[in-house]
Structure 1
Amino acid sequence: MTPETVLIIGAGQGGLQAAISLRQSGFAGTITLIGGEPGLPYQRPPLSKAYLRDGKAEALYLRPESFFDAKQIDYRPDTWVEAIDRTAQRVTVTGQSGAHALPYDHLVLATGTRNLRPPIEGIGLACDLRTLRDAQTLRDRLSQPTRIAVIGGGFIGLEFAAVARALGHEVAIIEAAPRLMARAVSAKMSAHFAELHRDWGNRLHLGQAAIAVEPSGVTLADGTKIASDFVLLAAGVRPNTELAEAAGLACDNGVRTDARLLTSDPAISALGDCASFPDPRSGAQIRLESVQAATDHARLIAKRIAKGDAAPYSAQPWFWSDQGPCKLQIAGFATPDAAEEEIAAGIIGRFDASGLSAIETLDNARAHMRARKLIASPVPITRAELEEIAA
């Protein structure tokens, strides 16, 4: 039986896409989209790149205000869900009109993630880069020459560092792991980006955790003092699962779902960065921090709700990171312990016990698109086919 009322918690790209896809799939019932931030839903990836340079917030908006009226989507910004009552199938929300309950026939959790706060003394002094408001604050701070310490050598920290350095600021990157982007890319690609950042003038402090943040800078585990005027914290994220946990839903590095993205309650789905789901390739439970995954999840959930489509999630993941003039693209998903092999200059294959799991490319969009088609192939991939990616 098709639900008549769908309530979506989270108005990021995944949550908004769920609302859009429901209408595109012919769903004629009530859709309520709840967002914790004020204003219209917007893109997050440009916050660490283009927005810091141009400050054009209007370019980030995913849909104009008129869209929600036209599609009969009840969008409620600046509103927070306090609790989920699974028995009554309703949620308690607080917003500008106070606290009240909203019913649902099906609930979609698109609650995303929040920045990880490591146990570092004085970490409250550090800046975040997660929301548009965060980015606006950072852009103001970048208006004058300054010294910046970035805690975290993942995508966000490195993208910010590249922009800040290009604007003329002094940047020190602090990464507790022995190499950059260790969770996401091969050792060879990591080494290449370390060389790039050093060539741009960024100072790297690898294999040393930050243990204290003070107004004057950051102290590392070995006692090194890094002087800075402000500190950006980009040490990873954690999924927002508190609502799900309080409601008694199964959680495992995110809100646990099956292959159809249904939680342990068949009236509740989860998508995007907050969802833990079976990897279509390995069957292992994984969680992806990716706009592509969130929007693909949303489309699948919408088809299931609107049309009764019970197909499992099978989309191939892909990722990207723009750092300075360089574009890193990844087709597929590799665990940090995956073996690596250079296929051609700027093209690296990642392998596990089942074979090829991911392909990394640098400044080569054509090779990346070929890699995505190859990764999606259900048959074993030959060495010759791998080499053809670079042709």
Structure 2
Amino acid sequence: MVYLNKDFIFYSRCRMSVYTGEYFKHVSDDALRAVYYTFTPKPLTGGDHYSIDEELCALLVETHRALGVLEGMSMYIADNEIIRELMLLQECHYSRQIDYEDSDLHSLLKARGNGRDFSAIKNMMNAYRQSVEFPVAIGALSAVCRTALHGAESTEDVDIRSNPIFITKAVTNLRQYNPTAPKDIRPSLIDIAQYWKQDNSDVLVKAALAHYQFEMIHPFDCYNGIVGRILISKALLSSHLNASHFLCPSLSLYNAKNDYFGILASTQRSGGYLLWIKFFIRSILDAAKRASGQIQDYQRITQYDKEKIRAHKASTENTLLLYDYFKEYLVSGIPRPAEVLHLTHATVSNAIKLLQESGILRQSSIGSRNRTFMYSELIDILSIDTESRY
């Protein structure tokens, strides 16, 4: 307690301000008495953080137009639930890829389609769904982090961290960014919640600032980036824009990962939010345009392939059943669809052979044992290369 009191006195006197927040100087409680700095972002409530210039105005107009197109499209698409689920899977996959070395998209789809464990992504998907119902509040954010980490059924406590986080492995006395000190986390999160309730700014700007603020605070011991990107989805869905269910901003951020981290970091040094806001809105614009193209391609491919199946003389009702399974799961072997659809292995094998002959499925494994098949055209829609196509 003595060290904490002394640390607080030193900390409160030794602070340096920049426009977007303040650096606070600390002295560690151990024998080394190491000096380090933490950054507490400026409160979002009650202040002017940016001014709209011509470029930002044009960006907002173009992005809302793209979201409007996606909104209209989402009202009438076939396979709405399947596409929403695939887009959420894509969002979670690339959000995790931003922060962690993880399996590729095909491996994820293979595990999902064969009924194997993909709990890391499944937990994140549940956290995204859960966030829609929750307010932007400390307890709700902790619950979302718990679900993303441990699953929807977990009762494990996930609370605000009680220790500092250092960006570099070595503690330095240089004034550089480290996330907000534990004692300042709670008031900083309360500020985000109040800003979200009270501010009438454009929802895209609000989402940009809320995400920036959360990332600077880093309130939890881990998964801060993932929860911060869930907050983006939460922010957009709170505007009652159904199109947000089909967005994958994390793919845009993943493809611009260096800029994403670089602009986030430079904002607290440069003293202005405008560069970050514009970068963020461009990411949403890219995601909206890409989603519209993905939905159009998905519908075009599935409609054409279904017509091919119906025109095939050997096609049966079971062929269409299996096709619908692959349309949803994209990658699978034989045992899992046989179990789910209550068909024999021979029936599934024959249906897969027909789908291969029709150019719809292709074998992705080597050899004749434990064969795996993939709906490659639909997988291509979700892959990282989609960024250059839409």
Using the size of structure 2 for normalisation, the TM-score is 0.26
Q: Which of structures 1 and 2 has the larger relative contact order (alpha carbons within 8 angstroms, sep 6+)?
A: 2
Q: Which is greater in Rg?
A: 2
Is the helix fraction higher in 1 or 2? 2
